[in-house]
Amino acid sequence: MKIIPAIDIIEGKCVRLTQGDYTRKKVYNENPLEVAKQFENQGIKQLHLVDLDGAKSGRIINHRILNSIASNTNLKIDFGGGLKRDEDLKIAFENGANQITGGTIAVKNRDLFLNWLEIYGSEKIILGADVRNQKVAVNGWLEESQFDIFDFLKDYVALGIQYVICTDISRDGCLGGSALELYKNILLAFPSLKLIASGGVTSKAEIVELKKLGCHGAIIGKALYEGRINLNDLKTTI
C-alpha cells in the first residue's frame, strides 16, 4: 500500500484545515518545497498536492508551487484543486503533475470529466470522491451534492475509472481515525478499484488496517505534521 503525504496550499503556504473549514486553518510551513524534500528524504515516492485556493476560486492558482516541487524532487505528484477547464489540466500537466484529481468537475460537468478520461486515460485521471453524510461534496467541500457515494462510484467505475481518492470530510484534520467501515464497504462493492483512503488517518495501526482492507494507498496529512505518525516507522509495516 502506498503512503502518500499531503501538502495543501493556501497563499503559497503549507496548511491543514479541519473538516474542510477554511476558517480553521493552521500554517505548518511557509515553504512547501522544503516540506516535499523532507518527505522525499524519508523515502516517500508520491505526493498529494492540493491547491485549496484553486478549489475555492474554481481555477488553478498554485501551479508555480507544483512546478517548483516537480522540478526539484523526483516525487510523483497527484494534483487537485480548481481543475474546471481544459486549460487547467494543461497547466497542471505542463507544470509537472503525474496525475490529476477531479472531484467537483466530475459532479458539475460530467461530460468534460469523461472527455479528460478519454484523452488522458485512467492512469492519469483520479476521481475525487469527497463525502459528507454519505453524499458527495464539491467546491472545496463547501457544497453538498445530491449524489450518494455508492451510486456515484458505480457510475464512474462502469465508465473506466481506476483510481479514487475518498475523503470522509467529517474526519479530515481531526486526528480521530479514518472511515474504515466506509472503505470496507466501497471495496466490497468495487473490488477492482484502486481506492486511496484520505481523512483522519492517525496511527500506524490504522494504516495496517487500511492495508488489510485492500486500500491501494493512504493519504496522510495532519498526523504527519503533528508527529502522530513517523514515516520511518512505517517502512517495516507497509
Gap between the Cα atoms of 112 and 228, Å rounded: 40
On the 0-12 / 13-18 / 19+ scale of CB atoms within 10 A, 134 is exposed
* Dihedrals phi, psi of 76, to nearest 5 degrees: -85, 120
Q: Is the pLDDT of residue 238 over 70?
A: no
- List pLDDT tens digits, range 52-101: 999 888 899 999 999 999 999 999 999 998 899 999 999 999 999 999 99
Q: Where are the domains of the chain?
A: 2-234
What pLDDT, on the 0 to 100 scale, is given for residue 179? 87
For the chain, the maximum distance between any two Cα atoms, rounded to a whole number of angstroms, is 43
- List pLDDT tens digits, range 116-170: 999 999 999 999 998 888 888 775 455 566 789 999 999 999 999 999 999 887 6
> Which residue numbers are catalytic?
8, 130
Could you tell me the pTM of the whole model? 0.91
Gap between the Cα atoms of 106 and 163, Å rounded: 13
Gap between the Cα atoms of 140 and 70, Å rounded: 24
- Regarding the domain delimited by 2-234, which CATH topology (the fold level of the hierarchy) does it fall under? TIM Barrel (3.20.20)
What pLDDT, on the 0 to 100 scale, is given for residue 116? 97
